[in-house]
Amino acid sequence: MKVLITGGGGFLGSQLCQKLLQRGELTGPSGGPEQISQIDLLDAQFHRPVEDSRVRQIKGDISDRATVMAAVGLDPATAIFHLASMVSGECEERFDDALRVNLDGGRNVFEAARAAPGRPRVIFASSIACYGGEAMADPNTDRTKLTPRTTYGMTKAICELLLNDHSRKGHFDGRSARLPTVIIRPGKPNAAASSWASGMFREPLHGAACALPVRREQCHPMTGYRTVIASLIALHEVPEDRLGGDRGYVLPAHRVTPHVAESILRQVAQERGLRLGPIVDAFDARIQGIVSNWPVSVDGARATALGLPSPPPLKEIVEQYLEDFGPPAS
């Protein structure tokens, strides 16, 4: 079977690709495991080639309908993982682009899946930014009303509703994973308003200072990238008759503050002989304003009931990052 990953040039997209290559199979139209013969990665840019004959990189914009239609194609055995998106900070600054990429791009993916033969499974990477405003609870669940207070969250919420309706009408078999903030992303900070969540771990672990734009008591739901990748695949594998009409599932997450992060970092540094860089207060009212409109905790009970994994302890998430991307112990 064929797999298409939009946003395949990004961190999660590339991690998902590697995991699928290792796995070698997914549930196909037959209802049983089918070999993955091809993985197409669609993205606006790629930083490095993938050295595997099963992988094809397609450079293109998901807001271009023809590009997406061609990428999905007419293979009746196609699984689609829709990860491509503008990030939160960009969406607040560039409203029209956010609608073009996140909303129109999502519609393009869904329409291409609708036009494909059979009923392909479509896994959509949504976000806890779908929650917001007066409807927020502690914790937020899949039954909490979606009233986003950011443009990014609004586009994700609309795509969740579209996916539910396409699935109801039988156009395709859709499933939404409502992602908490994913840590620890390697590389440099990006324009996401949640970029500090990875930065407050990543920079100190590499001996560099992290400028913290939010208050140290700020609570935020976080999970590890390995758990997210495992969850996306597990959600694809769930038999459709177990899903019901609401296809949106918030993933379980830890409730983390910068104070908690510092405590975990000190434990890891002591065990590994690392010299930590400092977390420096650099309050940014704009970033704090966005983050204050996001949940402080979530309840992923519906996801775990389907068999999706819970994140390991926060310390283990840090150790996974060090194993994959971090400096060796001195």
Q: 143: how many CB neighbours lie within 10 A of its CB? A: 9
| pLDDT at 327 (0 to 100) | 73
How far apart, in whole angstroms, are the C-alpha atoms of residue 258 and residue 136?
Answer: 22
pLDDT score recorded for residue 190? 84
Residue 261 DSSP class: H
CA distances from 137 to 20, 133, 194, 294, 296 (A): 35, 10, 20, 10, 9
* pLDDT reported for residue 329: 54
Longest dimension (CA), the chain: 58
Task: Please report, for residues 11, 132, 189, 206, 292, the alpha-carbon distance to residue 146 in angstroms, rounded to integers and kept in the order given.
Answer: 27, 7, 28, 38, 16
φ/ψ of 213, rounded to 5, equals -90, -5
Instruction: Name which residue leads in pLDDT, 50 or 305.
Output: 305
If you average pLDDT over every residue of the chain, what do you get?
95
CB 178 within 8 A of CB 130: yes
The length of the chain in residues reads 330
Residue 330: pLDDT over 60 = no
Beta strands at 78-82 and 173-179: parallel, antiparallel or unpaired: unpaired
Of the listed 131, 152, 225, 249, which one is catalytic? 152
* pLDDT grade for 259, boundaries at 50, 70 and 90: very high
Give residue-wise pLDDT tens across range 22-62.
Answer: 999 999 988 899 999 999 999 999 988 888 999 999 999 99
Q: At what angle do helices 258-272 and 314-324 cross, to 10 degrees?
A: 60
Mean pLDDT of 306-322: 98
- Provide the pLDDT for residue 60: 97
Dihedral sign, CA of 150, 151, 154, 160? negative
CA distances from 286 to 30, 93, 283, 294, 301 (A): 50, 11, 9, 13, 32
Percentage of residues of the chain with pLDDT beyond 90: 91
| pLDDT tens-place string over residues 138-150 | 999 999 999 999 9
Sequence-ordered list of residues with C-beta below 8 angstroms from that of 251, at least 6 positions apart, any chain: 177, 178, 179, 180, 223, 227, 228, 231, 298, 300, 303, 308
Region 172-196 average pLDDT: 93
Determine the Cα–Cα distance for residues 10 and 149; give it in Å rounded to an integer.
25
Q: Is pLDDT at 192 greater than 90 in this prediction?
A: no
pLDDT value for 153: 97
- Between CA 4 and CA 301 the distance in angstroms is 28
Residue 271 identity (one-letter amino acid)? E
Torsion, CA 223, CA 1, CA 157, CA 114, rounded to 10:
180
The pTM for the full model equals: 0.96
Beta bridge partners of 177: 125, 249
Q: What is the pLDDT of residue 279?
A: 96
pLDDT of residue 206: 94
Please give the angle made by the CA atoms of 166, 171 and 173, to the nearest 5 degrees.
Answer: 80
Domain ranges of the chain: 2-180+223-252+298-311
Is position 152 annotated as part of the catalytic site? yes
Cβ contacts of 30-34, under 8 Å, gap ≥ 24 = 31/239, 34/1, 34/77
Q: What per-residue confidence (pLDDT) applies to 77?
A: 81
Q: Where are the beta strands (DSSP E) in 53-92?
A: 55-59, 78-82
pLDDT at 204 over 80: yes
Assigned CATH for 2-180+223-252+298-311 = 3.40.50.720
Q: What is the pLDDT of residues 85-103, one digit of tens each?
A: 999 999 999 999 999 999 9
Phi, psi of 11 (to 5 degrees): -65, -55
Q: Please tell me whether residue 182 adopts helix, strand or coil conformation.
A: strand
DSSP 107: H
| Interval 209-258: pLDDT, tens | 999 999 999 999 999 999 999 999 999 999 999 999 999 999 999 999 99
Instruction: Summarize the chain as % helix, strand, coil (round to 5).
Output: 40, 20, 40
How does DSSP classify residue 214? Answer: S
Phi-psi region of 2 (alpha: psi -120 to 50; beta: other; left: phi over 0): beta
155-176: average pLDDT:
98
